Structure 1
């Protein structure tokens, strides 16, 4: 296995417990010794799909002990008002903010306890697929270490070295769509008495149309703040971009204008802006994820997505469960890898599309009157027709319905919501007999397991 990040460590556990001989190679050092050095966002949103995988691996209790509940989106309006928009019906339908580094450490411990062998400072250097031999380079001294393999699993992220090696042997149909927006991470520290500076049980959003700021809580009482801007602004429309906001002084001016209530909470704004790297946002598509029985990709290595639905990790964990189950089926590895791809590729395309859509919703619609009206009707229909209507966010986040099914049903439901609320300012003026009839006519019953 190439990559000892979240997906690699989880899959190593699931396979080792099934009796597979698993060796995991990671280009970085052991984070349990030298600390987490991932270079990526320290916050992740854990939902039911990810929790299910953690339960199977036996890591859910330890992870949840460090997670912070998020009940919904706390929308911060330009005039200073705030509004909590719940994700679900009540506290039984929430998501959890988890620390990437802490989660990685827990999963590495579990993988090692399950019998997986972990090798650090081993970056993939080359693969001879004909000889089934792989070489890894020690980043400390440049030495090479060769190993034989039966099958390789690529869990080494969006910049996957294994994917590049596979692509050199057989075209995978790789293409990357860049969003045209990037991000910078900042931090809200604890209060002087060690508490949270703002409401801890929410994902905070400052939507500003074509750009936005968000903040997720950490268990050490900090918030990770992420500023999303276009790469190129539109000064005539008052839209900033990273081409116009280039240093700490310009970042402070932007916050004074557009995120005034957040500014006092970020004392190191200038420092963080100038010293934290700018992150790119892109979607990776592949037509093929495997090379017969010799190699297979999963997680970001196969289908990296933008982070706006909070499903990247959850989707990768679901990949791990699916691959382990296909390997359990008794089929040979080539057939198992092919079946895994056939199952998961349509679902990955669906959540990639929903993640892109959610960016538009978060930055531009959560404070929109039409959106709020449709959201109110959505919640009412879920109460009136629980066998036929479920908000798409709930299908994706609180259940394990295939992403592709949630995507298709969600699109049909959205069309219905738009039609039913057209020319209405409140759901109180709706003809409920006509509404109920439309739901029964247009929406088939939900799958039994939902």
Structure 2
């Protein structure tokens, strides 16, 4: 049984079904692939995520490639009152493409594959009332009855109900309590504005086209408020729209602009060179102004990934096991890699209980390393603290130079 129908939950269900398992997936939402304009996340699926998609087959990888923006070169534009400045940063290895895809579309591809698989039974809009464990396995109680299985997968996010149950069954010893770590990007607030996929703007340099396959930063120029930027990430024009991310500290005044008129006033002062009112319908401006957004999580992980009870086993995957800010784009890829590692463990062991123990040994060191990396990799990319960001860049470049000059010094 799998709890959670996000990328990790659907991917592990498809992997297990491919091996002949009968899989039940429980998801509290009625449609895990529904588009939420307040959370218009973009995924960058890199080589690790692609490896799993290829192994699953079912044309998922082909659907990704045909509907995503492939990152062979990074086209970056910066818009200020002086105009648009653009540059192209070549990717070091153009053959190793990563793909930008909206979250809802990616989950939709996995969901379509799960719906077409006769070994998978989806329980959507499921209200899990209780999860129990005994000598016969695990038992999930919902309003529709009780389902039982010998393998329980918790892929239900960083507030995992399954993880809470494992801590309870373990006698509340703290082995399933997440370890949280500090990061300059943890706790930042974000919200998402929907824009046309492609558009043109008049600038002092003339009419400029904003293509859907490029990155753009709309720089803020307010003289009375903290300068904030809108960040646009590539998306295929096939989706007809793109998103602009606004990411700030908790107490920024933009969160007080919670009506259409107050946000219009804020936008006119912050981005006079970016005519939000002309680009965005009134209804979307209202939704954006009223939306309370979300917050980046602290880098965190559960120090114990598995639980065993005689012949039954439970395992945590994805955000239930590790959760991090989006600084290096490894949330979804690390979740998909969890599934790859679990598949390898199942192939190399005789039973599912042995497989989950092997997963713990193989995967936890990588998870711990990922948490260490995300804390220092790129936490100031959101321009939330310009001076601290400059100091961090100077420190990073200094360490990089020393590494080149003195590679053998530990």
- TM-score over 0.5 for the alignment? yes
Quote the Cα distance in structure 2 between the aligned partners of 1:125 and 1:309.
36
Q: What RMSD, in angstroms, separates the aligned Cα atoms of the two structures? A: 3.6
- Check 1:261–1:72 CA distance in 2 against 1; reply closer, same or farther (3 A cut): farther
Give 1:26-37 correspondences, 5 Å limit: 26-30=27-31, 35-36=34-35
Other-structure match for 1:15: 16
Give 1:159-308 correspondences, 5 Å limit: 159-170=159-170, 171=174, 172-176=176-180, 179-190=186-197, 198-206=210-218, 212-219=229-236, 220-233=239-252, 240=253, 242=255, 244-264=256-276, 265-268=279-282, 270-283=285-298, 284-292=300-308, 293-308=312-327
Deviation at 1:368, TM superposition (A): 11
Deviation at 1:41, TM superposition (A): 2.8
CA distances 1:80-138 after superposition (whole Å, capped 9, x unpaired): 4434362623643543221222222221232344422222222322111125342343x
**Which shifted more, 354-363 or 285-294?**
354-363
Deviation at 1:60, TM superposition (A): 0.5
Secondary structure at the residue paired with 1:156?
A: coil
**TM-score normalised by L of structure 1:** 0.72
Deviation at 1:317, TM superposition (A): 0.5
Quote the Cα distance in structure 1 between the aligned partners of 2:77 and 2:386.
7
What is the aligned counterpart of 1:314 among 313, 329, 333? Answer: 333
Deviation at 1:184, TM superposition (A): 0.9
Quote the Cα distance in structure 2 between the aligned partners of 1:185 and 1:97.
17
Whether 2:114 is the aligned partner of 1:111: answer yes
Deviation at 1:183, TM superposition (A): 0.6
Secondary structure at the residue paired with 2:122?
A: strand
Higher relative contact order (CA 8 A, sep 6+): 2
**TM-score normalised by L of structure 2:** 0.78
Whether 2:63 is the aligned partner of 1:46: answer no
Other-structure match for 2:381: 361
Quote the Cα distance in structure 2 between the aligned partners of 1:370 and 1:192.
32
- Check 1:78–1:36 CA distance in 2 against 1; reply closer, same or farther (3 A cut): closer
Other-structure match for 1:344: 363
CA distances 1:118-172 after superposition (whole Å, capped 9, x unpaired): 22222322111125342343xxxxx242111101001111222211222222231
Quote the Cα distance in structure 2 between the aligned partners of 1:262 and 1:348.
41
CA distances 1:278-326 after superposition (whole Å, capped 9, x unpaired): 1121133211121125311110111111112222111111111111111
Aligned positions, number? 374
Give 1:333-412 correspondences, 5 Å limit: 333-357=352-376, 358-363=378-383
Whether 2:128 is the aligned partner of 1:129: answer no
Does the Cα contact within 8 Å between 1:63 and 1:103 map onto a contact in 2? yes
Secondary structure at the residue paired with 2:379?
A: helix
Deviation at 1:36, TM superposition (A): 4.7
Deviation at 1:338, TM superposition (A): 2.6
Does the Cα contact within 8 Å between 2:3 and 2:9 map onto a contact in 1? yes
Quote the Cα distance in structure 2 between the aligned partners of 1:361 and 1:199.
22
- Check 1:212–1:154 CA distance in 2 against 1; reply closer, same or farther (3 A cut): farther
Quote the Cα distance in structure 1 between the aligned partners of 2:261 and 2:401.
43
Quote the Cα distance in structure 2 between the aligned partners of 1:148 and 1:333.
16
Secondary structure at the residue paired with 2:134?
A: coil
Does the Cα contact within 8 Å between 1:45 and 1:96 map onto a contact in 2? yes
Other-structure match for 2:148: 148
Deviation at 1:366, TM superposition (A): 10
Secondary structure at the residue paired with 1:294?
A: strand
Gaps of 5+ in 1: 138-142, 234-239, 375-410, 421-434, 444-450
Deviation at 1:354, TM superposition (A): 3.6
